[in-house]
Structure 1
Amino acid sequence: MKSRLTRFDNTEWNNPWYVPLGGAVLAILGVLLGYRLAAAAGATGLGEYGITVLCLALTMAVGFGGLAILDMRNRRQ
């Protein structure tokens, strides 16, 4: 799992589509979640961007961890 998450290419992944497709979906999900939380909290200006960036980073970290676990379960035969 460590080799999947610490490299910037997708050679360690069993399914090469997890990285580009999963990254785009997770980024969109993180930004949308961040904007919704910032709006619900009533944040403005720099606080809105801070909440959005935090949600983006957390979504990407947790999402790629989940994709790595899913990829480990679907090993090449």
Structure 2
Amino acid sequence: MCTRFYVEPALYQSLITRAQRIQLANDIMVKLGKPLTMCGEMCPTDVIAVLAPNKDGKMAVFPMLWGFSHEATDAPIVNCRL
């Protein structure tokens, strides 16, 4: 299943900016050639800002490629269910 979603820039700009300033964001951009838009219409394989626990277990924002991977393919697999 393939899906996309919309991230409203005005509502999430502070989180997006924090995710873009992390060294991992630069690594993703340089090594994978992915832009760091993180807002507007987002599709699988785009870089998005996610909230996840950091190494101390506290909620933090990180840049991440959206989608899951599987050893059988190099393409991301996205399966969203409500």
Q: Higher relative contact order by CA 8 Å / sep ≥ 6: 1 or 2?
A: 1
Does TM-score exceed 0.5, indicating one fold? no
TM-score, scaled to structure 1? 0.30
Structure number with bigger Rg = 1
TM-score, scaled to structure 2? 0.29
From the two aligned structures, give the one with the greater strand fraction: 2
